Amino acid sequence: MRIVLGVGGGIAAYKVASLLRLFTEAGHNVTVIPTEAATRFVGVATWEALSGNPVSNSVFDDVHQVNHVRLGHEADLIVVAPATADLLARAATGQASDLLTNTLLMARGPVLFAPAMHTEMWQHAATRANVETLRSRGVAVLEPASGRLTGADSGPGRLPEPEAIFDAALALAQGQSDYQLPLAGRTVTISAGGTREPLDPVRFLGNRSSGKQGVALAVAARNAGATVRLIAAHMDVPAPAGVDVVTVETALQLREAALAAAADSDVVIMAAAVADFRPAEISGTKIKKRDDTADPVITLVRNPDILQELVEARNAPENRVDRGNQLIVGFAAETGDGQGDVLAYAGAKLKRKGCDLLVVNHVGTDKVFGQDTNSVVILARSGAEPQLAAGSKTEVSAAVITRVGQELNHVSPRA
Ligand code: CTP
């Protein structure tokens, strides 16, 4: 495809270099048109080097080629990112004040705007009206993501992740004109990693969870446009950018963080490997081996079942209005045994825990934990046919998040 990538003058312009990379690596021919202001954030040399095409922002460069006419007519797709409040306003009012706005007026193919600005600017009546005007003309305007903005402020206004804009752009090019990110406007809480239950100041009971699945889910949810809260127990992999992270160690800490985050989440996904038991007592000092006393015996007590508590909280009469539509997703690792197969155990677990979806891993000693690939079955409380998903943890996560989006389809986003 021939793509025109318009870049607006916002700090998020630096992220658009990754978007450009995604387009070129997928084999598309991209011409970048930055606004004058955009070149204050990322220089023309960067765009030329990454696109392999000359870059200009003036209608008075190469006048003999009548660039705005040529680029606008030839483009199979125009993507504008970051679309600033100023660019949205100029596009909505049909101004032709630079090469990008001229090109937009000449466009014959689909146009996608990926806005980024401070929350107040995004919510301002003027911007709302401009977005409505553009949408009414068939231009696709993505909802911005929520989260940390340029300064200390946070809220809707973040540029959607490059992968999300890439997906939206390709969907648009394939004719899905009303495409929106499937989890735009949704808040998704995801627990990841393995809890650690201390025995003494230097020892703990832990498990082999790497956190890879939970992190892949967080990335998929973020890329689908959600505001993501990651509750991270011990993980071997770093938390991804663009998500809010709460770090926890024990099951009790995870419980507290999950119940708090769930209070205003549309979706809660419990991907963490939570210890079912913790030592009844934590020694304040290091447990020493001694010849004059018997070896220690560790007594364990049950940890609360967080998933079950989340379901109970969601179902509580006082939460019916606010959280009645919350979607709760559990994970289960099953081996099956002489008494029942994996699906039988998983079906029973789904009933017992009361969650809406249960993502079931079939584990053997060499499978799942710390591995990059996975194969799962998604069971639904509704009784829908079990859905198979296999592949890398990224692919499995994409399938789970797509399913979450489908389940949420009939539920409007939280106010
Ligand atoms: N989970 C939880 N709180 C716990 C234990 C597990 O919220 N104390 C969650 C996990 O995050 C996962 C799901 O419950 O989403 C299933 O966990 P799993 O360990 O497979 O199930 P258990 O209830 O521990 O059942 P069993 O040990 O009998 O297989």
**CA 298 from centroid of its chain's CA atoms:** 40
Query: Ligand 1 centre and the CA of 277: distance in Å?
Result: 11
Banded model confidence at residue 338, pLDDT cuts 50, 70, 90:
confident
The topology under which CATH files domain 187-408 is: Rossmann fold (3.40.50)
* Cα–Cα dist 3/5, whole Å: 6
Asked if residue 365 has pLDDT above 60, the reply is no
Supply the pLDDT for residue 413. Answer: 60
Pocket test for ligand 1, best of 276, 303, 339, 350 (most atoms within 8 A of CB): 276
* Cα–Cα dist 255/304, whole Å: 8
The catalytic site residues sit at 207
Asked if residue 190 has pLDDT above 80, the reply is yes
Using DSSP bridges, classify how beta strands 203-205 and 197-200 pair: parallel, antiparallel or unpaired. antiparallel
Query: Ligand 1 centre and the CA of 18: distance in Å?
Result: 38
Torsion, CA 390, CA 394, CA 52, CA 160, rounded to 10: 130
Query: Ligand 1 centre and the CA of 354: distance in Å?
Result: 12
pLDDT tens digits, 107-155: 999 999 999 999 999 999 999 999 999 998 989 999 998 877 777 777 8
Query: Ligand 1 centre and the CA of 331: distance in Å?
Result: 7
Pocket test for ligand 1, best of 270, 278, 339 (most atoms within 8 A of CB): 270
Task: Name which residue leads in pLDDT, 7 or 184.
Answer: 7
Question: Which CATH class name applies to 2-173?
Answer: alpha beta
Q: Tokens 């483009």 identify what position?
A: 75
pTM of structure: 0.80
Alpha-carbon distance values, 174 to 21, 46, 164, 177 (Å): 20, 29, 15, 8
Residue nearest to atom 6 of ligand 1 (CA): 274
Query: Ligand 1 centre and the CA of 344: distance in Å?
Result: 16
Pocket test for ligand 1, best of 231, 277, 306 (most atoms within 8 A of CB): 306
Query: Ligand 1 centre and the CA of 71: distance in Å?
Result: 56
Supply the pLDDT for residue 386. Answer: 93
Torsion, CA 404, CA 214, CA 17, CA 126, rounded to 10: 50
Asked if residue 371 has pLDDT above 80, the reply is no
Query: Ligand 1 centre and the CA of 352: distance in Å?
Result: 11
What is the percentage of the chain residues whose pLDDT exceeds 70?
95
Supply the pLDDT for residue 177. Answer: 66
Query: Which range has the top average pLDDT, 55-59, 331-335, 355-359, 365-369?
Result: 355-359
Nearest atom, ligand 1, residue 306 CA: 7
Asked if residue 288 has pLDDT above 70, the reply is yes
Pocket test for ligand 1, best of 307, 312, 343, 400 (most atoms within 8 A of CB): 307
Least confident range from 20-24, 167-171, 262-266: namely 167-171
Residue nearest to atom 8 of ligand 1 (CA): 305
Residue nearest to atom 20 of ligand 1 (CA): 332
Nearest atom, ligand 1, residue 272 CA: 11
Asked if residue 70 has pLDDT above 50, the reply is yes
Residue nearest to atom 16 of ligand 1 (CA): 332
Nearest atom, ligand 1, residue 332 CA: 20
Determine contact, residues 237/215, Cβ cutoff 8 Å: yes
Q: Residue 28: which of 45, 46, 53 has the closest Cα?
A: 53
What is the percentage of the chain residues whose pLDDT exceeds 90?
72
pLDDT tens digits, 58-67: 887 877 777 7
Alpha-carbon distance values, 307 to 40, 243, 271, 354 (Å): 49, 22, 10, 9
pLDDT tens digits, 206-243: 999 999 999 999 999 998 889 999 999 999 999 998 89
Residue nearest to atom 4 of ligand 1 (CA): 305
Lookup: tokens for 389: 């998903």
* Binding-site residues, ligand 1, Cβ < 6 A: 251, 270, 272, 274, 276, 303, 305-307, 330-333
Q: Where exactly are the structural domains of the chain?
A: 2-173, 187-408
Asked if residue 369 has pLDDT above 60, the reply is no
Mean pLDDT for 359-380 is 74
Banded model confidence at residue 267, pLDDT cuts 50, 70, 90:
very high
Q: Tokens 């220089």 identify what position?
A: 43
